[in-house]
Structure 1
Amino acid sequence: MSDREAILQARHQTETLGKRPGALVIREGALQPRLFMISYDANTLIEKEYATYDELWDSFQGRPDLRHWVDVRGYGNLELMERIMRDFGLHPLQMEDVLGDYQRAKVDVFDDNRLFMVSRMTDFTSSLEIDDDQLSLFTGPNYVLSFQDDYEDCLDSLRNRLRSNFSQMKRKPSLYLAYALTDVVIDHYFPTMAAIGDYLEGLEERIFSERRERRMLNRILRIKKDIVRFRRLVYPERDKISEILRMPDEVMPEDIKVFFKDAYDHAMQALDLAESYRENITSLTELFLSDQSNRMNEVMKVLTIISAIFIPLSFVAGVYGMNFQREAPPAGANPLNMPELYQPWGYPAVLSLMALMVIGQLFYFWRKGWMTKQR
């Protein structure tokens, strides 16, 4: 969820404060609904976008022998949402969860062993954020009713499978379509994680070349937040499928549970990847801080060497800068004061001595290996 979506969600929750349970409220910024339906059996496929709900409903009721995937994209029409709720016999509390548009992944059983399922579809955007949208599913004897708030989704691969003449989905019950939708959502977690993994590799390479430490640290912390958020999305998905696998056979037949077991394995793999990336980002943070510490040590080493060179030079310069008089009339010369002040080569001799001291120190530092840059 982007920052703007989070703000809209917070406003929607504020608008529902004090309202009765099951009251339907359309959140600000919701898109106008677009209505799609795919009707199919082993030998038939009818796919169409409907201009009006009446046209869709007539087509749905006119083909009771086919299975149907009714796909509603956009929630911005309260009257239409209420009609769909009445016609398909949906519970107001479940419809409230649909329109709330930010529910954790879950599954509920309602009248006649029908299911209400929520999944989170994810994508890693170019702005380095995990964008997630809610997919709500209702199952019926010969249909799956889906709701989503956006016109674009990750379900095109499933639509292409239905269009194929060899798809086994067209020969299976509608519960299999609900499984297939859930499986596509889970499978789409892996491209998201792959994009995050590529970005982490790029960050690791840039740690040793990036000079703007604050920008690099911000990137690390931002991707860390995305990984934590991704884990929060996948955990409920795993728990949802686990709950489906524990349902009695009259709700979820055993031949469909077999496929959900495969989806459960995919969810576990996504979680393992998320855990691995969380460990990677922790190591990356430690690597970044260690590199910054090493750079600081390099700076301190250079400053220490410079200080070590100038300390004896400052001592020599300080001694010869005391300006004690050599001559002390009328008693004559002071034998204990500096005779070098009056030697013709005194000044060059002191400068030469100071140069030899610098050369000697540099040679000593080099022999000790202090002059080489640590890698």
Structure 2
Amino acid sequence: MAKNTTHISKNVLGQIPGSVIYTGKKDKQKLFIESFDYNKEQCTEKTLNTVQESFEYKLTDSITWINLNGLNHVGEIEKLGEHYDLHPLVLEDIVNISQRPKIDEYDNYLFVVLKMLYYDANEKIVSEQVSFVLGKNYVLSFQESEGDVFNSVRNRIRHAKGRVRSMQADYLLYVLIDAVVDHYFSVIETLGDKIEDFETAIFSGEVDDDISQKIQNLKREILRVRRGIFPLREVINRIEKNENKLIHKKTITYYRDVYDHLIQVSENIDIYREMIWSLMDMYMTTISNKMNEVMKVLTIMASIFIPLTFIAGIYGMNFEYIPELQYKYSYFILWGVMIVLFIGMLIYFKRRKWL
């Protein structure tokens, strides 16, 4: 059974529900806020210094996306939550990075949490929590640090590519979630390449001494990816079947497409889990086969020298009368017999395919 690695900060234990306490480790992350306010005809993109600068967008008829990086700035998040009338439990979940993917429905908005997965510069899997709030004409997103998978969405909004500029806020939430899910394919592709590299190394016999540890690390990576992806299927399924007024019927088809992608990703993860177990079995089988080869060679060598040792033992005894010892050519005959035995046993082992 996999060990539960969910991180819960000690600062959260025993606190009043709704306490906005950041549970991550990036306490020095700089605050970054960007906004996209658009409609079919125009788009305004800004980098904001404070959350107050985004308050003006709430009353507009256009669609607004406000993206905040830096969950350690709980004061700014509380101000944004107060302006958009977010529930205290929502604000608590936003800054508590141990949340599993989920969706909560409130009167005027939907709250969605998911995991953004990617590999860092050291080829280690990173699971970052991303929270979304979907309102009537806005989407708020909250990330722990800079760097995400939403650049394609930004370009589509800037240059009016696709349907995003002509659709409502629920479609904007869809394209953001879809960008995260699409990046899952890149992650599992990397996992697949790692598994193939291990398979090639094991089959060729070119394995490092710590390959078993590397396989275990890869197994943990797959489990971490699985924990981030599998609950999201339930989230999308609930959105797809939700009759909330914020989700329009014509957008449901797109969420269904995301669900199909998640099913495909989940199936690949299950396959990779099985392959990881097979890799470990394959490695242990390879080690066992190598040991068997060594034992086979040692056994054959012992079998060859047993009769030779027997002959040498007989004529090495200290009896006074051994007739063959008095014969002039006994030494050479004995050598000949031993050589013939040696060659004969080699031929026999070869024919039996023991060599």
Q: TM-score range by the shorter chain?
A: over 0.9
Structure 1 residue 367 corresponds to structure 2 residue 338: no
> 1:264 maps to what in 2?
259
| Alpha-carbon displacement from aligned partner over 1:52-78 (angstroms, at most 9, x marks no partner) | 3333334x35x7132111000112223
Is 1:239 matched up with 2:214? no
Determine the structure 2 residue equivalent to 1:32. Answer: 30
Whole-angstrom distance in 2 between the partners of 1:355 and 1:56: 96
User: What's the TM-score, normalizing by structure 1?
Assistant: 0.88
2:173 counterpart SS class = helix
**Aligned amino acid, residue 218 of structure 1:** Q
Q: Following TM superposition, by how much is the alpha carbon of 1:95 offset from its aligned partner in structure 2, in angstroms?
A: 1.1
Amino acid at match of 2:14: G
Paired residue for 2:39? Answer: 41
Supply the RMSD in Å over aligned alpha carbons. Answer: 1.9
| Structure of higher CA gyration radius | 1
Report the Cα distance in structure 2 between the residues aligned to 1:213 and 1:309, rounded to whole angstroms: 34
What is the deviation of 1:365?
A: 0.8
Gap change, CA 1:123 and 1:46, over 3 Å in 2: same
Q: Distance in 2 between matches of 1:146 and 1:289?
A: 47
- Once the two structures are TM-superposed, the CA of residue 102 in structure 1 deviates from its matched residue by 2.2
CA distance in 1, matches of 2:85, 2:260: 33
Q: Tell me if structure 2 keeps the 8 A contact 1:210–1:216.
A: no
Q: Does the Cα contact within 8 Å between 2:304 and 2:342 map onto a contact in 1?
A: yes
Task: Give the percent of matched residue pairs that are identical in Structure 1 and Structure 2.
Answer: 34
**Aligned counterpart, 2:179:** 184
Q: Which residue pairs with 2:140 in the alignment?
A: 145
Show the counterpart of 2:299. Answer: 304
Alpha-carbon distance between aligned partners in 1 of 2:318 and 2:123, rounded to the nearest angstrom: 68
Tell me which residue corresponds to 2:53.
Answer: 55
SS of the counterpart of 2:210? helix
Q: CA separation of 1:249/1:108 partners in 2, compared to 1, >3 Å: closer, same or farther? A: closer
Task: Tell me how far apart the structure 2 counterparts of residues 353 and 318 of structure 1 sit (CA, whole Å).
Answer: 14
Does structure 2 conserve the Cα–Cα contact (< 8 Å) formed by 1:242 and 1:264? yes
1:352 aligns with 2:336: yes
- Could you say what secondary structure the match of 1:18 adopts? coil
Preserved contact between residue 237 and residue 259 of structure 2 (Cα < 8 Å)? yes
Determine whether 1:218 maps to 2:213: yes
Any idea what SS the aligned residue of 1:15 has?
A: coil
Cα distance between partner residues in 2 of 1:195 and 1:209: 21
Q: Quote the Cα distance in structure 2 between the aligned partners of 1:343 and 1:156.
A: 97
Quick check: 2:115–2:128 contact (8 Å CA) kept in 1?
yes
Determine the C-alpha separation between the residues in 1 that align with 2:155 and 2:205: 44
Q: Tell me which residue corresponds to 1:73.
A: 69
TM-score where L is the length of structure 2: 0.92
Q: Which runs of 5+ in 2 are unaligned?
A: none
The correspondence for 1:83, drawn from 79, 84, 98, is 79
Query: Which amino acid in 2 is paired with 1:47?
Result: E
* Distance (Å, rounded) in 2 between the aligned partners of 1:66 and 1:246: 26
- Amino acid in the other structure paired with 1:259: Y
Q: Confirm whether residue 167 of structure 1 aligns to residue 162 of structure 2.
A: yes
Q: Output one character per residue of 1:129-159: Cα deviation in whole Å (capped at 9) or x when no partner.
A: 3211111000112110000101011111111
Report the equivalent of 1:334.
Answer: none
Q: Tell whether 2:129 aligns with 1:134.
A: yes
Question: Post-superposition shift, 1:283?
Answer: 2.6
Q: In the TM superposition, what is the alpha-carbon distance from 1:212 to its structure 2 partner?
A: 4.4
Deviations 1:8-61 (A, max 9, x none): x74x52111111011111234232321111111111111121223333334x35
Alignment correspondent of 2:318: 323
Q: CA deviation at 1:289?
A: 2.4
Matched, 1:339 2:323: yes
Q: Which moved more, 1:171-180 or 1:317-326?
A: 317-326
**Unmatched runs of 5 consecutive residues or more in structure 1:** 1-5, 327-337
Q: Is the 8 A contact 1:85 1:91 kept in 2?
A: yes
Q: Shift of residue 170 of structure 1?
A: 0.7
Give the conservation status (yes or no) of the 8 Å contact 1:207–1:216.
Answer: no
Q: Secondary structure at the match of 1:111?
A: coil
